[in-house]
Amino acid sequence: MAIDRSQLLHVAHLARLELRDDELERLGAQLNDIIGAVSKVSELDLADVPPTSHPLDVVNVWGADEPRASLPVDEALANAPEREGNYFKVPPGGS
């Protein structure tokens, strides 16, 4: 099943990716090829098979709720593209 341009733009928006026109064309065609190839999984009738989300039989690891040291503020902000005081600074709005 083919993914058209408007669907591709919708998916790209969900993923917060601005795609240039040349990318829309190239990646759109490749995306269709890839989705076509992976659709092979739908050949199997797996109604009775449970899904696997994780390959190990571990469940709920609990830790004690104890305070411990964390990064100093300056280190936490060391890689910030933009900083103001003790905050990460970003442009306003736009969701």
The two structure tokens encoding residue 77: 């902000």
| C-alpha to C-alpha distance for 27 and 22, rounded to whole angstroms | 8
Q: In b/e form, how buried is each residue of 28-63, taking b as 16+ CB within 10 angstroms?
A: beebeeeeeeeeeeeeeeeeeeeeeeeeeeeeeeee
Query: Which of residues 50, 65, 69, 85 is near other proteins by CB under 8 A?
Result: 50
Q: Tell whether residue 73 is a contact of other proteins (CB under 8 A).
A: no
Q: How far is 12 from 89, CA to CA, in rounded Å?
A: 25
Q: CB nearer to other proteins: give 61 or 67.
A: 61
Among 40, 67, 85, 86, binds other proteins (CB under 8 A): 40
| Binding of other proteins by 61 (CB under 8 A) | yes
Give the binding site for other proteins (CB under 8 A).
3, 8, 11-20, 23, 26-27, 30-31, 33-35, 37-42, 44, 46, 49-56, 58, 61, 63, 71, 75-76, 78-82, 88, 90-95
